Structure 1
Amino acid sequence: MQNILEALPEAIYTTDASGLITFYNKAAVELWGTSPELGKSEFCGSWKLYWPDGTPLPHDGCPMATALKEKRVIRGMEAVAERPDGTRIPFLAFPTPIFAADGSLAGAVNMLVDLTDRTIADETVQRYAAIVESSDDAILAKDLNGIITNWNRGAERLFGYTADEAIGKPVLMLIPLDRHSEEATILSRIRNGERMDHYETIRRRKDGSLIEISLSISPIRNRHGRIVGAAKIARDITERRRAEEQQHLLIREMDHRVKNLFTLTFSILTLSARSATTSEELAAAVSARLIALAQAHALTIPRTSEAAGRNEQATTLRTLIQTIVAPYGGVDRSQSRVVVTGPDIAIAGGAVTSFALLLHEFATNAAKYGALSVQEGRVDISCVDVGDHFVLTWSESGGPPVDRQTDGAGFGTLLAKATVRGQLGGAISRDWKPEGLSIRLMVARDNLSVQRSED
């Protein structure tokens, strides 16, 4: 009998009627982590004992002691044995009293079943369950008939159904009618043991709205390795789709802008070449005009994340004027040489480029030949709404004497024909008054803020 007990894989030991240990096998020593002294150790050979909740358990209150005192069989009472090294081993106890032929208590035999592996498995299951439950992604499981068996909080947030509403229902309730055939294909692949990663599709929420998702689907196997269902992880890719669309839009917009930039640069170079007499003069003129355009373009760059969705950012005419004429004396400062009066107006799109070039030409000519070429000179810029048109009047005074002249085929005249009359739907006129040049620019108000293609 002793040889048989020694060969058993579970911890086995015996006691006499008073609880003194009379035998134990090697498995018991492995569980306790120590070898108790026969005939002296009572009830259990472990160093210390605890209840499952961590409360200390006296040896004389352990399952073996209870079975001896009450002379009854105890099946599967759980406790924890602590080894001398501090390791704690959860176990199930199965103490059984042994009676003599005359019916008197002769002792007891106890079998201890180590629960360490089960505890580790339970902890692992609980850990995975906590991860699944706290995941931001929708995680659900279904059987091979497509019936939902598990549903986490991420699924509640994504699809709008609570766990009580979803579990036990067919997963087809999430699939739009025109995509029901997908489920049969998915189940077929799962039955074949296949995984599906990053399968992008569309599903329907409880409120009827559609949502783009990415699915990862894996077979679920039982302990015998047989496939019994599928686990799904669904991730909302709506924002990713929007980001991709925005990226594509920005790339197209960049392509459009670059092409326009090359076209505009070529036009400036061509028009400047017609009025320049030397290569140095051409280089200086083109450089100044491109700098003016760069300064104007900087005004149209969105400065907040809220503006990220816009293709163009509007500025105002007053801000643009201040930027262009700042090198010549500024706007609206004390003793300023350039003063603006009248209403401000928003401008955007190609109108910013056109006004930047026009204002640059006005200021450059004034600095070379007109009011801004002398310290006493000044420029008054008047802005007036006239019906559905906007009128800007550039008036110079205090400069050198003015002789009536025109710029013929110069840059200003060519620019006026190309932009003022064409793009802005307006007109420009010059009046060389004795006190200084006066330029009247009239444009269609609607053309100042409309986003227009420059192709």
Structure 2
Amino acid sequence: MASLVDQMGSATPLPGALDERIPDRALNGQGRDSDAILQSLPVAVYTTDAAGRITFYNENAAQLWGLRPELGKSEFCGSWKMHWPDGTPLPHDQSPMALALKEKRPIRGMEVIAERPDGTRVLFITYPSPLFDASGNLIGAVNTLVDITKRHEAEQRVRESEARYREIAAIIESSEDAVLTKDLNGVITSWNHGATRLFGYTADETIGKPVTILIPAERQNEEPTILARIRRGERIDHYETVRQRKDGSPVDISLTVSPVKNPQGKIVGASKIARDITDRRQAEQQQRLLLREMDHRVKNLFALASGVVAFSARSAATPEELSSAVRHRLAALARAHALTLPVTSEGGRRTDQSTTLRVLIQTILLPYEGRTDAGGPRVAVSGPDLRLAGSMVTTFALLLHEFATNAAKYGALSTPAGHVRIDCAEADGQFTLTWQERGGPRIDNPTDSEGFGTMLARATVKDQLRGNISREWDPEGLTIRLSVPRDRVASE
């Protein structure tokens, strides 16, 4: 390399378009050897004289610039245009090479963008170093350009990938749905907060454990089938099933399972998204119940209307009296029926009205009030009154409606001599209602089977009132005892 330092301007000319020479250049064997070395380097290299005019460049430099500058005329750098990494234009006379010549010191590791004539850009690191003769006089400089475009693009892709990963991780972590991953052996490898909320386990309690800890014993056979489908590359969408919380309670979920692949495209596990569908299942069940209830109510209304007409006919002396009695009783029945219907807002929430139990009893049993053949009241109520919580009005109305309907169809209210006594009492935080029928058809062989109305009443007491209900069949009539927590039904 001695010729490059000692005889700047005497480099061997390059073939083709580079076969241009600075006047008075002296050729010698050492120059040809040093140029051959520079040509063989895997990086871009060029030299300038002390004024910054380019005196030599290798083929890698020409490819980086996208052009072949004119030796002895092009200054400081052979690129068409230059920019700083932020895109700001960089004049050639302010480039790192110009700075190295001006300050007579090496410049190390500055990043610059070269713009080619076709508009493409190359990011490179520049290492210009000034050259001096034996007397210490500046005779030029040599510059090495390292193309880092691909490395920069790869780093940018990594940064973007990491940013996307962080974004996805944040979305997963904040998701209301349970999101977890597992390997092909069914071992849990990740667990988000949504999974903790749904199943009750923390990530530390589940990662490394088999996913079967979430599956009830009777559904353990589902997991091998799911894993087999994942190994085949299949995706499982909206699979509705039941899983088990940490406390052992079941939870209805909709499950979506997708294969997870490594960078080589090999399936290495699966991601699971579990959504709690308990509310939807309960809504569907409630809808089915309401449809059955509607069918049951319609049938009962026809039966009741028939009973009202028949009962009114026994006491009416004229058609006019019959018509008036029927109209009034049907109107009262309609008011009672309205109280048993769920009232909801536009958002689907119940908006029941508050009332007292005594008023509710009078409304429900209004169609049956009057006197028995013996002159006594057909309906009598005793005991303390109770203001019902808003959500309990329709619940109690439904129960009383069922009691009265059955009494009118089969019990005490189906005969002129029959009557009903309702006794209310409070003790030890419990509210008790006793419904006692007398004077109806004699019951010699009570049936053990329950109709829909009876099942509905039992489910209502148990699920909504958190109470108990019992029936006692006496030959003289039916007795129903209802016991519920007072604070569950009372409006404070």
Map 1:98-113 onto structure 2 (within 5 A).
Answer: 106-111=142-147, 112-113=149-150
Letter in 1 for 2:142: A
Letter in 2 for 1:156: T
1:126 maps to 166
- Name the CA shift for 1:167/1:82 in 2 (closer, same or farther; >3 Å): farther
Instruction: Provide the rounded CA distance (Å) in 2 between the counterparts of 1:174 and 1:186.
Output: 14
Identity %: 42
Instruction: Provide the rounded CA distance (Å) in 2 between the counterparts of 1:416 and 1:135.
Output: 65
Map 1:345-360 onto structure 2 (within 5 A).
Answer: 345=385
The counterpart of 1:213, out of the listed 245, 253, 258, is 253
Matched, 1:204 2:240: no
- Name the CA shift for 1:50/1:200 in 2 (closer, same or farther; >3 Å): same
Alpha-carbon offset, residue 292 of structure 1: 1.4
Unaligned runs of 5+ in 2: 1-13, 17-42, 67-72, 116-120, 134-139, 367-379, 387-395, 406-411, 422-434, 441-475, 485-492
Letter in 2 for 1:261: L
Q: Residue deviations 1:314-367, cap 9 Å, x none?
A: 953356659999xxxxxxxxxxxxxx99865468557569989xxxxxxxxxxx
What SS does structure 2 have at the residue aligned with 1:49?
coil
Unaligned runs of 5+ in 1: 4-11, 30-36, 52-56, 84-88, 326-339, 357-411, 429-442
Residue pair 2:255, 2:272 contacting (<8 A) in 1 also = yes
1:265 maps to 305
Q: Residue deviations 1:362-387, cap 9 Å, x none?
A: xxxxxxxxxxxxxxxxxxxxxxxxxx
Instruction: Provide the rounded CA distance (Å) in 2 between the counterparts of 1:258 and 1:229.
Output: 55
1:157 maps to 197
Alpha-carbon offset, residue 262 of structure 1: 1.5
Instruction: Provide the rounded CA distance (Å) in 1 between the counterparts of 2:324 and 2:237.
Output: 60
Q: Which has the higher contact order (CA 8 A, sep 6+)?
A: 1
Alpha-carbon offset, residue 98 of structure 1: 8.6
The counterpart of 1:137, out of the listed 156, 168, 177, is 177
The counterpart of 1:244, out of the listed 281, 284, 287, is 284
What SS does structure 1 have at the residue aligned with 2:255?
strand
What SS does structure 2 have at the residue aligned with 1:201?
strand
Q: Residue deviations 1:395-449, cap 9 Å, x none?
A: xxxxxxxxxxxxxxxxx9975435549x842469xxxxxxxxxxxxxx9996596
- Name the CA shift for 1:183/1:300 in 2 (closer, same or farther; >3 Å): closer
- Name the CA shift for 1:80/1:24 in 2 (closer, same or farther; >3 Å): closer
- Name the CA shift for 1:82/1:262 in 2 (closer, same or farther; >3 Å): farther
2:417 maps to 417
What SS does structure 1 have at the residue aligned with 2:179?
strand
Alpha-carbon offset, residue 138 of structure 1: 1.0
Map 1:49-64 onto structure 2 (within 5 A).
Answer: 49-50=85-86
Letter in 2 for 1:317: R
Letter in 2 for 1:287: R
- Name the CA shift for 1:424/1:206 in 2 (closer, same or farther; >3 Å): closer
The counterpart of 1:39, out of the listed 49, 71, 75, is 75
- Name the CA shift for 1:288/1:179 in 2 (closer, same or farther; >3 Å): closer
What SS does structure 1 have at the residue aligned with 2:304?
helix
Q: TM-score of the superposition, structure 1-length normalised?
A: 0.54
- Name the CA shift for 1:47/1:294 in 2 (closer, same or farther; >3 Å): same
Instruction: Provide the rounded CA distance (Å) in 2 between the counterparts of 1:25 and 1:281.
Output: 116
Q: How many pairs are equivalent?
A: 335
2:326 maps to 286
Letter in 2 for 1:262: F
- Name the CA shift for 1:158/1:63 in 2 (closer, same or farther; >3 Å): farther
Alpha-carbon offset, residue 143 of structure 1: 1.9
Matched, 1:231 2:271: yes
Deviates more, 1:175-184 or 1:140-149: 175-184
- Name the CA shift for 1:273/1:20 in 2 (closer, same or farther; >3 Å): farther
Instruction: Provide the rounded CA distance (Å) in 1 between the counterparts of 2:84 and 2:216.
Output: 61
Alpha-carbon offset, residue 181 of structure 1: 2.8
2:214 maps to 174
Letter in 1 for 2:289: L
Alpha-carbon offset, residue 216 of structure 1: 0.4
- Name the CA shift for 1:105/1:167 in 2 (closer, same or farther; >3 Å): farther
Alpha-carbon RMSD across the aligned residues, in angstroms, is 5.6
Letter in 2 for 1:316: L
Instruction: Provide the rounded CA distance (Å) in 2 between the counterparts of 1:63 and 1:264.
Output: 105
Instruction: Provide the rounded CA distance (Å) in 2 between the counterparts of 1:80 and 1:179.
Output: 63
Matched, 1:316 2:357: yes
Map 1:69-88 onto structure 2 (within 5 A).
Answer: none
